[in-house]
Amino acid sequence: MKSTKPSAIIADIVKYVVLIAGALFTLLPFVWMVLSSLKSANEIVQIPPTMIPRKFMFSNYAEAWQEAPFPRYFLNTVFIATVTTVGVLLTSILSAFAFSRLDFPGKKIIFSLFMATLMIPGEMLLITNFITITKLKWIDTYKAMIVPWLANVFYTYLLTQFFSSVPEALYLAAKVDKCSDLKFLFKIMVPMNKNAITTVAILSFIGSWNSFLWPLLVTNSTNMRVLSHGLVRFQSEAGTKYQLVMAASCILVVPIIIVYLFLRKYILEGMSYTGVKG
């Protein structure tokens, strides 16, 4: 048993009240989404808004589900986001290692050129990239949605900074032990920077998951579309059917929650690993 001093109990109460309030606050948008998805078209635009739907409109789910082939969109999105994330991690880790540890002619110039491309907003490249994809005849393929995002200068830069902060002594010690560069990279560098790499993976996955404009530009057939395209189908030039958007969002969030429940351990570990044990 822990100590039962009154001051400790009060401290515990305060702590938990704050935590519970914080948890509720974080949950609110999610709860709001679920409740809104069950409201009628009338009730969702009502001002002041109601919290609990007067009548639970489960039919919203059926209606939203029929509007677009969501299972297909879901598979497309998962596939594209996963391949893109794995690919971008590979290129970023390799190039970050090169920039932080290897010596080769023109290294500084190449790095500066890389950095310079960060100055160009992505939207400026949209049309030129699109023309390239058209010329390659990649329209309506997964390639078009994956390949252009397989390298990312920002992630490379981020990892380069982290890799540079690893003491040079470790690298030299590994060299003395006849460890190859690749082996050093994946046995020592990557595990030591697990947290940074996880961050990059999460950013990349979310970015890919949420992308809308590019996948829309390079696809034409329903089979190749992604989830974000399904969600805009409830908007028209004169308004939005919010209850259906919310119902669709609820459906879409379920697989993510399941994935999270299974991978929770790894995600949290990656987030909290500090990496400076050596």
Identity of the residue, 166 or 226, whose beta carbon is nearer to another protein in the bound complex = 226
Cβ 216 to another protein shortest distance, Å: 6
Determine the Cα–Cα distance for residues 121 and 124; give it in Å rounded to an integer. 6
Identity of the residue, 42 or 272, whose beta carbon is nearer to another protein in the bound complex = 42
Tokens of 148: 């252009």
Identity of the residue, 16 or 56, whose beta carbon is nearer to another protein in the bound complex = 56
Which positions touch another protein (CB under 8 A)? 41-43, 45-47, 54, 67, 121, 123-128, 130-131, 134-135, 139, 213, 216-217, 220-222, 229, 232-239
Identity of the residue, 112 or 222, whose beta carbon is nearer to another protein in the bound complex = 222
Cβ 75 to another protein shortest distance, Å: 19
Cβ 13 to another protein shortest distance, Å: 39
Identity of the residue, 4 or 236, whose beta carbon is nearer to another protein in the bound complex = 236
| Under 8 Å between Cβ of 230 and 68 | yes
Cβ 227 to another protein shortest distance, Å: 13
The count of other CB atoms within 10 Å of the CB of residue 257 is: 9
Identity of the residue, 117 or 164, whose beta carbon is nearer to another protein in the bound complex = 117
Cβ 264 to another protein shortest distance, Å: 31
Cβ 228 to another protein shortest distance, Å: 10
| Dihedral sign, Cα of residue 27, residue 33, residue 34, residue 36 | positive
